[in-house]
Structure 1
Amino acid sequence: MRLDKFLAQSSLGRRKNVRTYIKEGRVKVNKEVITKPAMEIKESSDVIEYLDKVVRYTGKVYYMFNKPAGYITARKDTVNKTVFDFFHDVNMEGVFHVGRLDKDTEGLLLMTNDGEFEHQLMYPEKHIEKTYFFWALGFLDEEDMKQLEQGIYIGKGEILTKPAKIEVQKSGMYKEFKHEMPNKDLQNIDSDHYNQPVVSGYLTIKEGRKHQVKRMLKSVGCYVVYLKRVSIGGLMLHESLGKGQYRSLTDVEIQSLFGELR
């Protein structure tokens, strides 16, 4: 096994990070400093050390987490609470989040200590689909949906987004759907007549630019007021998982994701 792969699949972090550790001379194999990430090792017999501490393979972990709004996708933050504040009863040393969700975005977030898995899942060329449910102020006509599906410019100097999938669920006036919307106390609503148009639906993308879903919908005149990621690839956020709850992925779910990465 490659040295960088061994470290990434242990508890030292993402593959790009462990490569840096190796190149900076922080890693030893059988007491010898190694600076080549591609060096082949025998994981069953070689002694691997990081900063003079033996790296022990503790096993890979994969968690499905239902992220609530209001939490930062980071290990630590000086101002805000983070997604790691929910993992009290398990050892999270070496575990990291796979991708990110904005502070106000809810839904499916994967956590793992498998650096290779994280790298592959976030690799743009793998075209792993991510589906989001949204409520937005505005409306979507056929031309808007066609633009989203074919690709749209969302920022100055940026290339077209990759083709997406859009499915409108409900469309009408705020007064018709205010009791169905998860966040009912919305700003920018006509409080007297509720004559603000709203739309809900699912948007599926294959890339992960910053605030991409919000920016795509904004480009066709819709302002997102609620966003929830409901799936990554074929993995759906389990309905029984409440906000702030997590569980380990099943073997079937893990193998299904790995199958999509091949």
Structure 2
Amino acid sequence: MSNVSNKPLRLDRYLASVTDYSRSDAKKLIKAGEITVDGLVVRDPAQGVAADAELALSGHSLRAASSRYIMLNKPQGYICAARDRRHQTVLDLMDEDNPERLHVAGRLDIDTTGLVLLTDDGNWSHAVTSPQRKCWKRYYVETAEVINEQAQLHFSRGVFLKDDKARTLPAELDILGERVARLKICEGRYHQVKRMFGAEGNLVTRLHREAIGDIVLDADLAEGEYRYLTAAEVASVQK
């Protein structure tokens, strides 16, 4: 997959997307005659560039980088953000070029562990996070109090959370023990799982995301480790 669509892009934007140069630096290189398109020097940063055009910088061929799709086993204590003044972020766990271009497709709280997906493909990310696409997220949950069996019915109907105007979408609760369950939801409201159990008068003491759609957290990944998704895993999320 490519970051460049079939629609022509401005030359300066294309150059910034396939190199570490900023848009302003890309413009300077173009105006200086350092860039060729299909073998011809182009000095206009606004010129349109086709997806299959042959670009070169100082004689070196340039290609649009493939989109990245990554799974990370998130430990506690890290937040799902690009940067934060007080806490480490999931990007601090990664050794990647241009990490600032990656974003989290479905965030987890600082004390929640498990599967986090990161990508620079906005359409794919939207398919993961949009409630309308019903990409189910599966969580392992431990609670302070015994889980009431009525919670299964309540969750399947949707519950009203404090300060929210609409019920949650139907969710699936599988009670594994007195204080242990698995929950599947297709939304990502603020602290949703904790608030759903809170609406039942219960407190979540441990929360771990096991799967997103058909993508299951790799058992071989230790906390803090990550790997690229397989082609089949990427394709399991329909854009």
- Calculate the TM-score normalised by the size of structure 1: 0.69
| Equivalent position SS for 1:257 | coil
The answer as to 2:51 corresponding to 1:43 is: yes
RMSD between aligned alpha carbons? 2.8
How far apart in 2 are the matches of 1:157 and 1:111? 28
- Calculate the TM-score normalised by the size of structure 2: 0.76
- Which residue of 185, 192, 212 maps to 2:192? 212
| Equivalent position SS for 2:152 | helix
Task: List per-residue Cα deviations over 1:153-186 (Å, max 9, x = no partner).
Answer: 0123420110000011111xxxxxxxxxxxxxxx
How far apart in 2 are the matches of 1:78 and 1:70? 14
Count of residues in Structure 1 that have an aligned counterpart in Structure 2: 203
The answer as to 2:103 corresponding to 1:123 is: no
Bigger RCO of structures 1 and 2 (CA < 8 A, at least 6 apart): 1
The answer as to 2:163 corresponding to 1:156 is: yes
Q: What residue ranges of structure 1 are gaps of 5+ in the alignment?
A: 13-20, 22-27, 35-39, 48-54, 172-198
The answer as to 2:42 corresponding to 1:62 is: no
How far apart in 2 are the matches of 1:94 and 1:11? 10
How far apart in 2 are the matches of 1:98 and 1:74? 11
Residues 11 and 93 in structure 1, CA contact (< 8 A), matched pair in contact too: no
Number of the residue aligned with 1:231:
211
How far apart in 2 are the matches of 1:89 and 1:46? 26
- Paired residue type of 1:218: G
How far apart in 1 are the matches of 2:115 and 2:140? 11
Number of the residue aligned with 2:229:
249
The answer as to 2:119 corresponding to 1:139 is: no
Number of the residue aligned with 2:39:
none
| Equivalent position SS for 1:231 | strand
How far apart in 2 are the matches of 1:72 and 1:161? 24
How far apart in 1 are the matches of 2:197 and 2:89? 27
Task: List per-residue Cα deviations over 1:75-122 (Å, max 9, x = no partner).
Answer: 111111111111125552522221211101101001112122112222
Structure-to-structure mapping, 1:181-196, within 5 angstroms: none
Structure-to-structure mapping, 1:31-110, within 5 angstroms: 31=44, 33=46, 42-45=50-53, 57-88=64-95, 91-110=98-117
How far apart in 1 are the matches of 2:144 and 2:165? 25
- Paired residue type of 1:110: L
| Equivalent position SS for 2:124 | helix
Residues 78 and 88 in structure 2, CA contact (< 8 A), matched pair in contact too: yes
- Paired residue type of 2:150: E
| Equivalent position SS for 2:99 | coil
- Paired residue type of 1:223: L
Overall identity of the aligned pairs, in %: 32
Structure 1 residues 74, 162: CA separation in 2 closer, same or farther (over 3 Å shift)? same
